[in-house]
Amino acid sequence: MMLFKLSIKNIKKSIKDYAIYFFTLILGVSIFYVFNALDSQTIMIDVSSSTSEIIQLMMTILSGVSVFVSFTLGFLIIYATRFLMKRRNKEFGIYLTLGMSKRKISLILFFETLLIGILSLFIGIVLGVFLSQVMSLLVANMFEADLTKFKFIFSSSSAIKTIIYFSIMYLIVILFNTFSVSKCKLIDLLYSSKKSEKIKLKNPYICIILFIISIVVLGRAYYIVTHDYMALSEVKDILKPIVMGIVSTFFIFYSLSGLILRIVQSLKHYYYKGLNSFVFREFSSKVNTIVLSISIICLMLFVTICLLSSCFTIKNSMNKNFKELVPVDADYSVFMNMQNNYEDYIEYGYNEEQISTSNYTVKEKFKLLGFDIIPYFKDYIEVNLYATPELKLCNTLGSKLNELKEKYEFLDYDSEEEVIMGINEYNKVAKMYGTQEYTLKDNEYMIIADYKSMAKVRDIALKNRETISLFGHTLTPKYTQTKNGFVEMSSNHINTGIILVPDKILDKNYIYENHLIGNYKLKNEEEIRELEENINKLDSEKDKYVLPNGATKLSIKEATVGLTAMVTFIGLYLGIIFLISSAAILALKELSESSDNKEKFQVLRKIGTDEKLINKALFRQIAIIFLLPLILALIHSVFGIKFAIQVLEVFGNEELIPSIIITTIILVIIYGGYFMITYFNSKNIIRNRN
C-alpha cells in the first residue's frame, strides 16, 4: 500500500513537470481510436454496394496501417520513458540509499506505468469517442451520405483494439523499466545530473570532408528522384536513393555537430554576445546523443510533409478532375476488328468466338445482348478510334527517335500502336464535352493529350516538324505542341496522345474501338444505378459477345470518392502520428535537459545574469534542436514532393499550392505548438529553485 501511495504521489509530480508526455499518450490513444472506429461510423451512412466495398477495403488498409502506427507509438512511449527515468535518477538513488531494494523500485514503476496507462487509455478513448463523431460528419460529407441518419456512435471493437494494442505497449514499457532499474548503479544515479558529456571537438577537416561527401551523395539522390525517376522501375532502384538519403542525412548532422561550435567560436563578435557561448557549448555537450535521434526525427518529418502534401494534392486534384474529365453521364465502348491483333487478344483472355464477333458497334452489341440502351439517352454520339501497325510511337518521332530513346529509355516505342481519330469525329466529342474544337487541312495532323510527361515527349518531335505516314498519306503537324484534350472519360489524366487526322484518309478496317457517349434522360441517381446494375448483369447471361465497357459518371464518382477517402484518411493518420511522435520526442528530450541543466541556470542567476537573457538563451537552445531536423526535412521535402507529383502525375498537380498551405498549417499548429509548450515548461523547470 505504501508503494502504491508513493506511486500516486510520483504521478502527480510527473503530471506537473511532464504534461507533454501524458498529453501525447492521450492524443495517441484518441487518434488510434478515431481511425479504427471508421467502420462503425460508416455503418450509419446509406451507400451503394460498390461504395461499401471501397469502404471495407479502406478499413482493411487502415487496420494494417494501425499495426505500423502501434509500433511507432510504442517506440515513442519507450523513448519518452527513457528520458523520464533519467529525470528521476537522483530520486531512485535516494531510494537505494534509504535501503529500498531494486525490486521495490521496479514495483513503484510498475504501479506508475499501470496507472498512467489506465488514465491515458480512459481519457484518450473518451476524447476519441467525441472526435470520432466529428470524423463521422467528415466521412458522411465525403461520401455524400444522408446526414439525417447521423447519431452518436461508440465503437466497442475500436475501443477493444485500442486497449489491447496499448496494453501490449505498456507491458513492454514495464519490462523496459524493470530491466533499466536492475542495471543501474547507485553512484551513477546520484551524480548523473552533474555529469556532462565531454565536448569532443571532432577533427574539422574530417567533418568538412564528410559534409561535402554527404551533400554530393544527397544531391545525387535528389537528381535520381527528380530527373531519372522513370528509371525507378524496380524496388532495388527505388531503395537506392532512399538509402543514399538516409545515410547522407545522418552524416550531415554528424559533421555539422563537429563544425557548428568551431564556426560559431570563429565568429567572436557573435560567440561572446549575450549567452551565445553558453547556448552553443550546451548544445555541443549533448551532441553525441542527439545526432542519431535528430536524423531519425528529420526523416520522420520529411515523410510527414510528403505524406500530407501528397494526400491533400491527390484529394483536391481528383475532385477537380472529376468536374473536368467527366462531363457527361456515360461513355460505353467496345473493341472492334479484334482479329487484326488476334494473338494479343487471345493473350488478354478473350475467346475465339468473342474475337470473331467483334465487328459490332456499342449500340449493335447491346442489341445482340438483348438490351436496347438508346431509349435511356436524351442525347448521344457515336465515334470511332483507329489503330494500325504502320503507326507506332517510333513512327511519329522521326529524326528525334534516337535522342528520345536515350533520354526516355523505358518508354515502349515499338510495340503499342498509336491511337488515331478523325478530326470531325473528335469535334463531335469536343462539342458534347464543351472543349475546344479544331480544323485540319488535308495534309495536316495534330495530337491531343492530357498526360503532361508524354506531352513533353511528343512536343520534342512536333517542334521539329516531324511528318508521319498513314494509309498512304504523308502528314505534317499543324501545331508545334500537343493540345489538351481527351476522349475516354476518367477521374485521372490518362490520355498519353491521340493523333487527329483528316477523316477522309481513314480506313474503317482499322477501327479498333467504338464509343457511345451521351447523357441519360433518367430522373435521379437511383434510376441510373438500377440501369447500370442491369447492364453489368448482362455479362453473366451471354459470353458469346464482349460486354461493352462502361465509364459512367456514377461509377467514376464512387471510385473517386473511395480513393480520395482512402488517400486522405491514411495520409492524415500516418502524417499526424509521425508529426506528434517527432515533436514529442524532441519536447521530452528538451524537458529532460532543462531539468538536468537547472543548476547551471541557477549559477547564471547567482553571477547576476538578467532573467530575460536566461530565457532568451533557453529559447535559442530549444529552437536549435527543433529547427535543425525541420530545416533539412523541408529541403528533403522539396524534392520528395516533386518526385511524388511526378509519379502521381496521372492525378494532376494543379492543387499542390493549397495542399502545401494546409500541410504548413498542420505543421505549425502541432510542431510549433510542441515547441512553444516545451519552451514554457522548460522555463518553469529552470525557475523552480526547490
In tens, the pLDDT along 270-315 reads 767 777 777 777 776 666 567 888 888 899 899 899 888 888 777 7
Same domain, 7 and 100: yes
Judge residue 172's burial from the number of C-beta atoms within 10 Å of its C-beta, 0-12 exposed, 13-18 middle, 19 or more buried: middle
Question: Tens digit of pLDDT for each residue in 178-227?
Answer: 766 666 665 555 555 555 545 455 677 787 888 899 999 998 888 888 77
pLDDT at 359 over 70: yes
Q: Which residues 6+ apart lie within 8 Å of 686 measured at CB?
A: 594, 597, 598, 601, 602, 614, 618
| The pLDDT value given to residue 615 | 81
Residue with cell 488535308: 442
* In a domain? residue 588: no
Contacts of 521 (CB under 8 A, 6+ apart): 376, 377, 378
Task: Name the pTM for this structure.
Answer: 0.74
Look at the alpha carbons of 43, 49, 51, 52 in this order and tell me if their dihedral is positive or negative. positive
Write the DSSP symbol of residue 672.
I
- Classified as helix, coil or strand, 428 is helix
- Does residue 241 sit in the same domain as residue 336? no
Query: Of 241-250, 290-299, 660-669, which range is least confident?
Result: 290-299
Strand partners, 515: 333, 383
Between 530 and 228, the more confident residue is: 530
d(CA 509, CA 344): 18
Residue 419 within any structural domain of the chain: yes
Model confidence over 234-243: pLDDT tens digits? Answer: 666 678 888 8
Is the separation of the CB atoms in 190 and 93 below 8 Å? yes
Residue 141's pLDDT is: 63
Top-confidence residue, 155 or 385: 385
Average pLDDT of the residues in 440-463? 91
For the chain, the distance separating the N- and C-terminal CA atoms, rounded to the nearest angstrom, is 28
Model confidence over 36-90: pLDDT tens digits? 777 665 554 555 556 666 667 777 777 777 777 777 777 777 766 666 666 666 6
Confirm whether 19 is domain-assigned: yes
Q: Is 391 in the same domain as 518?
A: yes
Label residue 586 by pLDDT band (50, 70, 90): confident
pLDDT at 499 over 90: yes
Are residues 210 and 186 located together in one domain of the fold? Answer: no
Final residue belonging to a domain, choices 493, 527, 554: 554
Instruction: Count Cβ atoms below 10 Å from residue 53 Cβ, excluding itself.
Output: 13
For residues 185 and 69, state if they share a domain: yes
Residues 241 and 353 in one domain: no
Query: What span, in angstroms and rounded, lies between the C-alpha atoms of 688 and 601?
Result: 11
- In-domain check, residue 647: no
Query: How many Å apart are CA 624 and CA 539, to the nearest integer?
Result: 65
Q: Are residues 186 and 215 in the same domain?
A: no
Banded model confidence at residue 261, pLDDT cuts 50, 70, 90: low
Amino acid of residue 52: S
Give the bridge partners for 652, in sequence order.
Answer: none
Look-up: residue for cell 555537430? 257
Q: How many Å apart are CA 232 and CA 235, to the nearest integer?
A: 8
248 lies in some domain: yes
Q: Are residues 106 and 175 in the same domain?
A: yes
Give the dihedral sign, CA 485/490/491/497. negative
Digit-coded pLDDT (tens) for 455-496? 888 999 999 999 999 998 999 999 999 999 999 998 888 898
Residue at 533 is within a domain: yes
| Total domain count, the chain | 3
Task: Answer yes or no: is pLDDT of 625 > 70.
Answer: yes
Q: Can you give 422-459 as a three-state secondary structure string?
A: EHHHHHHHHHHHCCCCCCCCCCEEEEECCCHHHHHHHH
Based on the domain organization, do 62 and 167 belong to the same domain? Answer: yes
**Mean of pLDDT over the chain:** 79
Three-class secondary structure of residue 469 per DSSP = strand
Would you say residue 327 has pLDDT above 90?
yes
Residue corresponding to grid cell 475500436 = 158
> Strands 498-501 and 419-422, how do they pair?
parallel
Q: Are residues 254 and 395 in the same domain?
A: no
Residues 6+ apart with CB under 8 A from 494: 450, 451, 486, 488, 650
Kindly state whether residue 598 falls inside one of the protein's structural domains: no
189 and 240 part of one domain: no
Last residue of a domain, one of 494, 524, 554: 554
Its domain, for residue 41, covers 1-195
- What percent of the chain lies above the pLDDT cut of 90? 19
Listed in order, strand segments (DSSP E) in 371-526 are 377-386, 419-422, 444-448, 468-470, 473-477, 498-501, 511-520
Mean pLDDT, residues 405-431? 87
Q: Cα(396)–Cα(457) distance, rounded to whole angstroms? A: 11
Q: How many residues does the chain have?
A: 690
Inside any domain, residue 340: yes
pLDDT score, position 197: 47
Which domain-ending residue is among 538, 554, 570?
554
Q: How confident is the model at residue 93 (pLDDT cuts 50, 70, 90)?
A: low
Q: Answer yes or no: do 190 and 216 share one domain.
A: no
